[in-house]
Amino acid sequence: MQPYEYFEHTADIGLRSFGRDVAEAFANAGRGLSALLVDPSTVQPREERQVTLQGGELAELLVEWLNEILFLADSEGFLAVDVAVHVVNEQGLRASLRGERADLSRHRLLGGVKAATYHQTQVRCDGGCVVQVILDV
Amino acid sequence: MSKPGRLKRIDEYRWELPTTYKPGMRVPGLVYADENLAAQIDADQALEQVANVAFLPGIVGHSLAMPDIHWGYGFPVGGVAATGVEDGVISPGGIGFDINCGVRLLCSDLSEVGVRPRLVKLTEAIFHGVPSGVGVGGKVRLAGKEIDEVLRQGARWAVARGYGSEDDLERTEERGTFSAADPGKVSEKAKQRGTPQLGTLGSGNHFLEVQVVDRVYLPDVARAFGIAGTGQVMVLIHSGSRGLGHQVCDDYLRLMGPAVRRYGIEVPDRQLACVPFEAPEGQAYYTAMAAAANYAWANRQCIAHWVRQAFEQVFGKDYRDLGLQMVYDVAHNIAKVETYQVEGVRRRLVVHRKGATRAFPAGQPGLPEPYRAVGQPVLIPGDMGRYSFVAVAGEKAMAESFGSTCHGAGRLQSRSAATKSLRGVDVAGRLAKQGVVVRASGAGTLAEEAPEAYKDVADVVRVVDGAGLAQRVARMRPLGVVKG
């Protein structure tokens, strides 16, 4: 099973990811987003960041989770390459990211993403899980 | 052609989306387009979004769509919606994540003939002078609470720091300072995102272009704007409020989610979350949005300063001696309280412009002194292979479109479709053959932003000209392009 895919949206990019459970699908969404910021093969997992979010609907948590990855990139230049979601349910999300700070001499930076939106956001679990979100780029 | 039951033709440039299209629409949609663009628009999902915007409580007149409209999230890009201050809502989705994304145009005394031999050097100097790229910080260091002053004063803060002149402020919408701003309504998180990024270009469709005037439509108006004739070199800057604006939008969308239910509002898309303008949440968002708009004006002011420095470095003269003066700086993602005549009554309205440019014709209050008699310059960038336009606000804009017109070419192809269709094509090499020098920091950006991904901006501008929203003044084509 492929971890994530991008789908068509006129001005923006659709991101759909898959997993055996919600946590894996959320982690794959994080990887799919990170791969739009930087070529993952150029990033080393040197530093770690923790992400903790309070509860809410899963679709809203998905948007918040992805926006947290963008927050780390903007506020401290942190680019994630290893993504692990430890817990995700209606009570909240706990995850860790490993990566390093942006360095133009080593990292192949890509186009960038402004935000994950609430437009057409979905979390569907039936056996495996599929989640999707539209990214504003 | 348009399917029956969707767009109803009104005249050559106007199409109506009737309220019967979708139950719940409070007003009809009004789409500005010619026959070709109308067919393209009909094929896109944007019309559904024009209908959804018409659900907003307190919406006045029409849910408007400019000819560059395309499918966005919640609101269409190229949409305008005015709601009553007393009885209407404000919707962060009607402004977008990139609050006060906008354009700034500089003119110069240089000619294409004079610039051409040093074009590669100039494009590279601009590319290195203005930071861009994911996670790459800016050159401005903000001490302690200084971000609050940026949010309060906007471009005025930058000028006080030595980035530009009073004249730049005179030729900026709101003089670069949106007075409604309240930095206290902007989260710490947004400030953390914005502090390292001040003075950075950003990615996606943001750009810096050295351009040359290749056609003048209205010579008198062009002269008033500082455009003497064809062959003159100009600079166009397109950027916004960076991560700070994105965070403000995200913060308030999250806050408004539950608030929507509390106020008993029903909208067909979570991304259209809105609250009454005068409610505490509505006022908090409006003043935070204004602060983010100020950040964007400060950002473009800093960027313009470094672009001027790049010219100084390459041509060995002070920017004033190169005539690098502001034409105008205008927002195309913003909401503002403005007064309009609605069915014979003067009303204060919250005008949401999402991918639409303010267009105030001659005589309107709020215009800078040099443009009061001629009207506001409207800046309409196209794609990097074809043209950009300078227009002047038309009379019909006040009566019909709440002082608004189009903002650009509008996307035709998704980024992935553009990348796929251009696989193996050397976009930079192809542009170089046309005489356009391109530098980009993000790998892959060039294919996504290639000319064929966009509508032809000339078609878009012909429609707003024909409809009387804005008249074409001059056309520019790109010489040097810097992409984030």
Which chain B residues are closer than 8 Å to A7 by Cβ?
Answer: 416
- Assess whether pLDDT exceeds 60 at residue B159: yes
Predicted confidence (pLDDT) at residue B2 exceeds the cutoff of 60 = no
A75 vs B192: CB contact, 8 Å cut-off? yes
Instruction: Report if residue B71 sits inside a domain.
Output: yes
Phi, psi (deg, nearest 5) at residue B396: -65, -20
pLDDT over 60 at B407, yes or no: yes
Residue B135's pLDDT band (cuts 50, 70, 90): confident
Average pLDDT over residues A52-56: 91
**Chain B interface includes A60 (CB < 8 A):** yes
- Please report residues of A whose CB lies closer than 8 A to that of B332: none
Instruction: DSSP for A7-32, please give it.
Output: EE-SSSEEEEEEESSHHHHHHHHHHH
Tens digits of residue pLDDT in B190-246: 999 999 999 999 887 899 999 999 999 999 999 999 999 999 999 999 999 999 999
Q: What is the pLDDT of residue B10?
A: 96
pLDDT digits (tens, 9 = 90+) for B21-41: 999 999 999 999 999 999 988
- Nearest residue of A to residue B244, measured between CA atoms: A74
Nearest to A87 by CA among A26, A32, A18, A44: A26
Is B407 noted as a catalytic residue in this protein? Answer: yes
Q: What are phi and psi of B141, to 5 degrees?
A: -105, 120
Whether residue B254 and residue A60 make contact (CB cut-off 8 A), yes or no, is yes
Between B59 and B417, name the one with better pLDDT.
B59
Other beta carbons within 10 Å of B479: 20
Residue B423 has pLDDT above 90, yes or no: no
* Cα dist from B205 to A73, B176, B335, B439, B449, whole Å: 19, 22, 21, 14, 7
Closest-CA residue of chain B to A10: B414
For residue B300, being part of any structural domain is answered with: yes
Average pLDDT over residues B390-414: 93
Q: Decide: B142 and B183 in contact? Cβ < 8 Å.
A: no
Say whether B135 and A9 touch across the interface (CB within 8 A): no
Please list every residue in chain A whose beta carbon sits closer than 8 Å to the beta carbon of residue B46. 10
Q: Which of A72, A48, A99, A33 is nearest to B193 (CA)?
A: A72
| Residue B464 covered by a domain | yes
Position B3 pLDDT exceeds 60 = no
Confidence of residue A93 (pLDDT cuts 50, 70, 90): very high
Residue B136 pLDDT: 78
Is the pLDDT at B270 greater than 90, yes or no? no
First to last CA, chain B: 37
Taking contacts as CB-CB distances below 8 angstroms, the residues of chain B near A80 are none
Summarize pLDDT for B79-122 with one digit per residue, the tens.
999 999 999 999 999 999 999 999 999 999 999 999 999 999 99
Q: Is residue B431 part of a domain?
A: yes
Interface touch A109/B441, C-beta < 8 Å? yes
pTM > 0.90: yes or no? yes
Structure-token pair, residue B115: 């610039």
The nearest CA of chain A is from the CA of B323 a distance in Å of 33
Of B125 and B440, the one with more pLDDT: B125
Residue type at B478? P
Instruction: Kindly tell me if the per-residue pLDDT of A105 is higher than 80.
Output: yes
- Containing structural domain, residue B35: 8-483
Asked, for residue B2, whether it belongs to a domain, the answer is no
Check: CB of residue B450 under 8 Å from CB of residue B385.
yes
Indicate whether B1 belongs to any domain: no
Q: pLDDT tens-digit profile of B435-469?
A: 999 998 877 788 888 888 888 999 999 999 999 99
A115 interfaces chain B, CB cutoff of 8 Å: yes
pLDDT at A70 over 70: yes
Question: Is residue B245 situated within a structural domain?
Answer: yes
ipTM of the prediction: 0.90
Q: What percent of chain B has pLDDT over 70?
A: 99
**Stretch A46-54: mean pLDDT:** 96
Structural domain contains residue B3: no
pLDDT tens by residue, B345-362? 999 999 999 999 999 999
**Residue B263 clears pLDDT 50, i.e. is over it:** yes
Instruction: Count structural domains, chain B.
Output: 1
Question: Per residue in B306-322, pLDDT tens?
Answer: 999 999 999 999 999 99
* CA distance from start to end of chain A: 26
pLDDT over 70 (residue B1): no
Which of B44, B133, B411 is closest, CB to CB, to A104?
A: B133
pLDDT in the model for residue B5: 54
Which CATH number is B406's domain given? 3.90.1860.10
Mean pLDDT of B367-392: 94
Q: Is the pLDDT of residue A81 over 90?
A: yes
> B325, B107 in Cβ contact below 8 A?
yes
Task: Give the per-residue pLDDT at B4.
Answer: 40
Give the C-alpha separation, B107 to B390, whole Å: 12
Q: What is residue A115's predicted lDDT score, i.e. its pLDDT?
A: 94
Which residues partner with A78 through β-bridges?
A101
Question: What separation in angstroms does the CA of B424 have from each of A5, A108, B210, B430?
Answer: 21, 19, 27, 12
Residue among B97, B136, B411 whose CB faces A136 most closely: B97
Question: Which domains, and CATH codes, for chain A?
Answer: 4-136 (3.55.10.10)
Q: Is A129 on the interface with B (CB under 8 A)?
A: no
pLDDT of residue B414: 81
What share of chain B in percent tops pLDDT 90? 82
What confidence tier does B138 reach under pLDDT thresholds 50, 70, 90?
Answer: confident
Picking from B247, B411, B484, the nearest residue to A10 by CB comes out as B411
